[in-house]
Structure 1
Amino acid sequence: MLTEPRRRAYLSAMQVVHWLPRAELPFAAPSRPELLLPLAPVEDLDVEAQPVRQAPAQGEAAPTHARSGERPKIEIPRPGSTPKPVAKPVEREEEAPKAARPAPVPPPRFALQLLRAGTCLLLVELATGQPFQSRDPSYLLLKDMLRAAGLPDAPQIIGEPVRWPLFVRGNMEQGPEAARDFVQGFIQARLEEVPCTCLWLIGLPAVRFAGDADAQAYYQALKIDGLGDVWALPGLELLMDEPQRKADVWKAMRQLMARWKSVE
């Protein structure tokens, strides 16, 4: 706790002539009354007018000096301290609302196998992603469907299965549109080698990415640009899980059978 002599020594070292404490200081000398008077408004002051000294009233001691107002307090930085720059408020520009970016569509995942049976091509969904085996129940069902249609029941496998997405890594576009273009381009290349009378699309991925249709097109005959006549069918796994669908397959097959039988 500072005593009055030491406090005045600190103030003199900082070149502070006039000061007022915010609270009563212990061991401090009493404040001078003239320093506590309110300041006069700035607009009422005459800059060029000299302050008029009034004669002291009888019985009052004359003040050592009269003053029109208290000098403003000047803050002097302490030795070793650096003044902090005052940050100017930065006006933020109104940002234009950004359009919400559409969420990226994950690439579809499927495996399709292309086969040839007589004058027909078959694009069949591989539900497990693996090529057909001779004793697979789905492959045996496919052989039964070919015999019922009057086609060879030992279809020829054409090439490797078409698997999507093509690449696990990389920046290549592999969304639904790219998958559709790839599958249709693959089939068109095979049709240029050997044409067919009807293309069977078996399974939803085959119907969607080759025929550009959905499950509503099952059992229907479609006309696709670049692919010709197309027949949309449910997947082999779905036909085994829901045997009642086989009646709809047989009903549609009887109406389309003349297309490939008339060519033989």
Structure 2
Amino acid sequence: MQKPVNQSSPETSAHREQCRRQLLAEMGIHCLFARRRLPGAGPSHPQIFLPLQASDEIGVKARPVSADLSSAGPVVKAEALSMTRQILQETEEAVSEAPQPVKPPAVGHTDRADNDADVAESHQSDSQEQEAFAFSWFTLDYRLAVLVMLPAGQPRLSGSSRDMLQKILAALSQDYRTLRLNEHNFHWPLPDDLGLPADRDAARHTVRGFIARRMREQTVANVLVLSEQPPFFLGGQEESQVAGLYTDEQFGFSVLCTHALHSMQEQPALKRTAWKAMQILIPRL
């Protein structure tokens, strides 16, 4: 009669561990962990930790596998096989319960094309190529700056136009009678071929950058614009129009737009209309 195996014996635990490793090796699974606990090692599988702990406490050395199998008998071998099957089953369940990757929803090419068409239509006016234009900017003091639109092909303000501007400023305020005008010119498109966009939106951003630089040099409260039409690059005409004045929404200065200097030179009758419009600036200077 075979002697029953003591399940609580440390030797039996070591035998079971050896049997388990033997069965795993026969199935092509090799255990690559140490027999004894390594310093700093993480926790092992609960089915592996107990026999390792028992062998560490009593310092049991491994016997030859053939002797273990012959002495342990069919009970130990059956238990080791059951333990191996349990480990494999738990592994399969863990893999099956892993979350499956979720595929992103397909993007409708038709909807995207419709959206692109709407955006292109809404920005059609800004994407058109902007015609060439030029202006001169004069910063007088913190109260007033003057923007003079130049005729086509004219690089800077002519001598006759400069004299007319000097007379207008002297009539607006006595402080400007002896003031020397410092002219800054802007030309679109830019004279250098930098490969930049040439549409209306690009022109607006470039002019706003030019004005921002002038404002960093000297902030002003009012800007007198001498142009045939209100410049497209100064915003806020419709939102804050009061008695011919409107406030630029970015820089905050008040803008008054009246006739261009070259138009008043060609048609002297326009001088009276322009001077009448400038009366609103006198209390501000």
Q: CA deviation at 1:224?
A: 0.8
TM-score by length of structure 2 reads 0.47
Q: Which residue of 2 aligns with 1:231?
A: 256
Aligned pair partner of 1:139 in 162, 174, 196: 162
Aligned to 1:202: 226
Residue deviations 1:81-104 (CA, integer Å, cap 9, x gap): xxxxxxxxxxxxxxxxxx899797
Letter in 1 for 2:149: E
Match of 1:222 in 2: 246
Q: Give the TM-score normalised by structure 1.
A: 0.51
Residue number in structure 2 paired with 1:108: 131
- Separation in structure 1 between the aligned mates of residue 196 and residue 138 of structure 2, nearest angstrom: 28
Q: Which residue, out of 254, 257, 260, partners 2:282?
A: 257
**171, 183, 192: which one pairs with 1:148?**
171
For this pair of structures, how many residues does the alignment match?
159
Match of 1:183 among 188, 207, 213: 207
Contact kept in structure 1, 2:145 and 2:223, CA below 8 Å: yes
What per-residue deviation string (whole Å, max 9, x for no partner) do you get for residues 115-168 of structure 1?
1224311111122422235xx221111111111111514443244x11100156
Q: 1:197 to 1:212 in 2, by over 3 A?
A: closer
Mapped to 1, the partners of 2:249 and 2:223 lie a distance apart of 12
Q: Which has the higher Rg, Structure 1 or Structure 2?
A: 1
How much has 1:171 moved relative to structure 2? 4.1
Q: Are the counterparts in 2 of residues 211 and 230 from structure 1 also a CA contact under 8 Å?
A: no
Q: CA deviation at 1:174?
A: 1.5
Q: Contact 2:146–2:223 at 8 Å: present in 1 too?
A: yes
Change (3 A) 1:205 1:186: farther
- Checking the alignment, whether the CA contact within 8 Å between 2:149 and 2:260 is kept in structure 1 is yes
Question: Does 2:197 match 1:173?
Answer: yes
Distance 2:234 2:190 in 1: 16
2:140 partner letter: A
8 Å CA contact retained: 1:115, 1:122: yes
SS at match of 2:223: strand
Check whether the contact 1:223–1:230 (CA below 8 A) recurs between aligned residues. Answer: yes
**Where do 1:22-37 residues align within 5 Å?**
none
Change (3 A) 1:167 1:141: closer
Structure 1 CA distance, aligned partners of 2:201 and 2:236? 10
Contact 2:235 2:249 in 1 (8 A): no
Aligned 8 A contact 1:198 1:230 in 2: yes
Cα gap change, 1:223/1:193 in structure 2, threshold over 3 Å: closer, same or farther?
Answer: same
3-state SS, counterpart of residue 156 of structure 2: coil
Q: 1: CA distance between counterparts of 2:269 and 2:203?
A: 31
1:106 Cα shift? 2.9
* Structure 2 segments unaligned to the other structure (5+ residues): 1-116
**CA contact 1:202–1:233 (8 Å) conserved in 2:** yes
CA 1:206/1:213 → structure 2, altered by over 3 Å: closer, same or farther?
Answer: same
In structure 2, the residue matched to 1:241 is: 266
Structure 1 gaps of 5+ residues are 1-98
The whole-number CA distance in structure 1 between the counterparts of 2:188 and 2:234 is 13
